[in-house]
Amino acid sequence: MKLKLTQRVLLVLLCCAIASAAAAAAVSWTLQMSGTIISPHSNELIVTDATTTNEVHSIDWGEMEVGHTYTRYVYVRNTGDTSLTLHLVLSSNSLIDGGYGQISWDKEGYVLGSGDSVQVEIEWSIFATGPTGGAVPLGSVGPIEIYIQGSNT
């Protein structure tokens, strides 16, 4: 019994010695950090009319006849300090996602420089009438929203 206890004590001491030797063998390297923390880049898109001074928050399409494509123009201005790649994102709505018509534009992937403006052509093609074959007021199927987004290039 005494022998087993001594062997256990020796085993514990041996483990401690190995751990101490491993810790003594560890090395480290110190890196000194430098740099500058800056404010995030300011990016903002503004959509305006042809004067480029009046902001546009809605587009009135009026009455649109089946089988026709309608076009409206707005200007997009990048007031930020970095270039932005433009994207058009459509809300999920049967009037614009292929159910009755399709909205498209001519600036997908366009890189808009800091401080620059570009004329944007938005087209709405009307393919079919409403489910009952009659007129469909735009607000009757929920909000119709498009989002003009800019991502850092």
Q: What is the mean pLDDT of residues 104-123?
A: 94
Residue 89 falls in which region: left (phi positive, over 0), alpha (psi -120 to 50) or beta? beta
Separation between Cα atoms, residue 52 and residue 74, nearest integer Å:
9
State the amino acid at position 54 in one-letter form: N
The CATH architecture of the domain made up of 45-131+143-152 is Sandwich (2.60)
Supply the pLDDT for residue 103: 84
Across 95-114, average pLDDT: 83
Distance between CA atoms of 88 and 47, rounded to whole angstroms? Answer: 13
Tell whether pTM > 0.75. no
Whether pLDDT at 112 is above 80: yes
What tokens does 125 get? 């093609």
Q: What is the overall mean pLDDT for the chain?
A: 76
Give tens-digit pLDDT for 25-84.
666 665 555 555 655 556 688 888 888 888 888 888 888 888 889 999 999 999 988 999
| Per-residue pLDDT tens over the stretch 51-67 | 888 888 888 888 888 88
- Does pLDDT of 14 surpass 70? no
Over residues 102-109, mean pLDDT:
91
